[in-house]
Protein backbone atom coordinates (compact mmCIF):
# COMPACT_ATOMS: atom_id res chain seq x y z
CA UNK A 1 0.00 0.00 0.00
CA UNK A 2 1.35 3.41 -0.90
CA UNK A 3 1.79 6.09 1.72
CA UNK A 4 0.54 8.89 -0.53
CA UNK A 5 -2.65 9.55 -2.44
CA UNK A 6 -3.48 11.13 -5.75
CA UNK A 7 -5.32 14.42 -6.04
CA UNK A 8 -8.34 13.61 -8.14
CA UNK A 9 -10.98 16.29 -7.64
CA UNK A 10 -10.84 19.48 -9.66
CA UNK A 11 -11.66 21.41 -6.48
CA UNK A 12 -8.49 20.06 -4.83
CA UNK A 13 -6.39 21.12 -7.82
CA UNK A 14 -8.04 24.55 -7.84
CA UNK A 15 -7.44 24.98 -4.11
CA UNK A 16 -3.76 24.18 -4.54
CA UNK A 17 -3.44 26.61 -7.46
CA UNK A 18 -5.14 29.41 -5.50
CA UNK A 19 -3.79 29.05 -1.99
CA UNK A 20 -0.49 27.32 -2.69
CA UNK A 21 2.89 28.71 -3.63
CA UNK A 22 4.39 27.92 -7.02
CA UNK A 23 7.94 27.09 -8.01
CA UNK A 24 9.15 26.47 -11.53
CA UNK A 25 12.12 25.23 -13.50
CA UNK A 26 12.74 24.15 -17.08
CA UNK A 27 10.57 21.02 -17.06
CA UNK A 28 8.06 21.35 -14.22
CA UNK A 29 5.97 23.75 -12.17
CA UNK A 30 5.22 22.72 -8.57
CA UNK A 31 2.31 24.09 -6.55
CA UNK A 32 2.43 23.33 -2.81
CA UNK A 33 -0.13 23.86 -0.06
CA UNK A 34 -0.84 22.20 3.28
CA UNK A 35 -3.62 19.63 3.55
CA UNK A 36 -3.90 19.17 7.33
CA UNK A 37 -3.46 15.40 7.03
CA UNK A 38 -0.62 13.04 7.85
CA UNK A 39 0.22 11.97 4.31
CA UNK A 40 0.90 13.77 1.07
CA UNK A 41 -1.35 14.00 -1.93
CA UNK A 42 0.09 14.57 -5.37
CA UNK A 43 -1.66 15.64 -8.55
CA UNK A 44 -0.04 15.57 -11.97
CA UNK A 45 -1.19 17.76 -14.83
CA UNK A 46 0.14 17.32 -18.36
CA UNK A 47 -1.65 19.39 -21.01
CA UNK A 48 -1.95 18.76 -24.73
CA UNK A 49 0.76 21.37 -25.29
CA UNK A 50 3.26 18.74 -24.11
CA UNK A 51 2.38 16.22 -26.81
CA UNK A 52 0.00 13.48 -27.87
CA UNK A 53 -1.50 11.01 -25.39
CA UNK A 54 1.44 8.61 -25.56
CA UNK A 55 3.89 11.39 -24.70
CA UNK A 56 1.62 12.81 -21.97
CA UNK A 57 1.23 9.42 -20.29
CA UNK A 58 4.98 8.82 -20.44
CA UNK A 59 5.66 12.16 -18.74
CA UNK A 60 2.99 11.38 -16.12
CA UNK A 61 4.59 8.00 -15.39
CA UNK A 62 8.05 9.57 -15.08
CA UNK A 63 6.82 12.18 -12.61
CA UNK A 64 4.88 9.62 -10.56
CA UNK A 65 7.84 7.23 -10.42
CA UNK A 66 10.24 10.04 -9.49
CA UNK A 67 8.01 10.96 -6.58
CA UNK A 68 7.42 7.34 -5.53
CA UNK A 69 11.13 6.56 -5.29
CA UNK A 70 11.92 9.74 -3.34
CA UNK A 71 8.74 10.25 -1.26
CA UNK A 72 10.61 9.65 2.01
CA UNK A 73 12.61 12.83 1.27
CA UNK A 74 9.48 15.03 1.27
CA UNK A 75 7.87 16.59 4.33
CA UNK A 76 4.38 15.27 5.06
CA UNK A 77 0.99 16.98 5.28
CA UNK A 78 1.16 18.54 1.81
CA UNK A 79 -0.90 18.75 -1.33
CA UNK A 80 1.31 19.06 -4.41
CA UNK A 81 0.35 19.66 -8.01
CA UNK A 82 3.07 19.03 -10.56
CA UNK A 83 2.47 20.64 -13.95
CA UNK A 84 4.64 19.46 -16.83
CA UNK A 85 6.02 22.05 -19.23
CA UNK A 86 6.45 21.44 -22.95
CA UNK A 87 10.17 20.69 -22.55
CA UNK A 88 9.35 17.64 -20.40
CA UNK A 89 8.30 15.71 -23.52
CA UNK A 90 11.91 15.13 -24.58
CA UNK A 91 13.31 14.79 -21.05
CA UNK A 92 14.80 11.54 -19.78
CA UNK A 93 13.84 10.03 -16.42
CA UNK A 94 16.87 11.41 -14.57
CA UNK A 95 16.12 14.94 -15.84
CA UNK A 96 12.52 14.76 -14.58
CA UNK A 97 13.69 13.31 -11.25
CA UNK A 98 16.31 16.03 -10.83
CA UNK A 99 13.77 18.72 -11.76
CA UNK A 100 11.27 17.43 -9.17
CA UNK A 101 13.89 17.20 -6.42
CA UNK A 102 15.20 20.67 -7.34
CA UNK A 103 11.71 22.15 -6.93
CA UNK A 104 11.24 20.33 -3.63
CA UNK A 105 14.49 21.81 -2.35
CA UNK A 106 13.61 25.25 -3.74
CA UNK A 107 10.20 25.21 -2.03
CA UNK A 108 11.59 24.00 1.29
CA UNK A 109 9.47 20.82 1.41
CA UNK A 110 12.39 18.44 1.07
CA UNK A 111 13.77 17.05 4.32
CA UNK A 112 17.33 18.10 5.02
CA UNK A 113 19.91 15.37 4.66
CA UNK A 114 21.15 15.26 8.26
CA UNK A 115 23.17 12.07 7.82
pLDDT along the chain (115 residues), means of 10: 80 93 95 90 95 96 95 91 95 96 92 56
Global pTM? 0.91
Residue 1, pLDDT score:
47
- Exposure string (b/e) for 43-74, b if CB count within 10 Å is 16 or more? bbbbeeebbeeebbebbbebbeebbeeeeeeb
Residue 37, pLDDT score:
87
Domains and CATH numbers, the chain: 4-106 (3.30.230.10)
Residue 82, pLDDT score:
96
Residue 14, pLDDT score:
94
Residue 53, pLDDT score:
96
Amino acid sequence: MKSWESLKKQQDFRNCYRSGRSYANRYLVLYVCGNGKEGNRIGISVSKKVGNSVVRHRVTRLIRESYRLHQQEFNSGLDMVVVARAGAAEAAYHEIRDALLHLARKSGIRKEESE
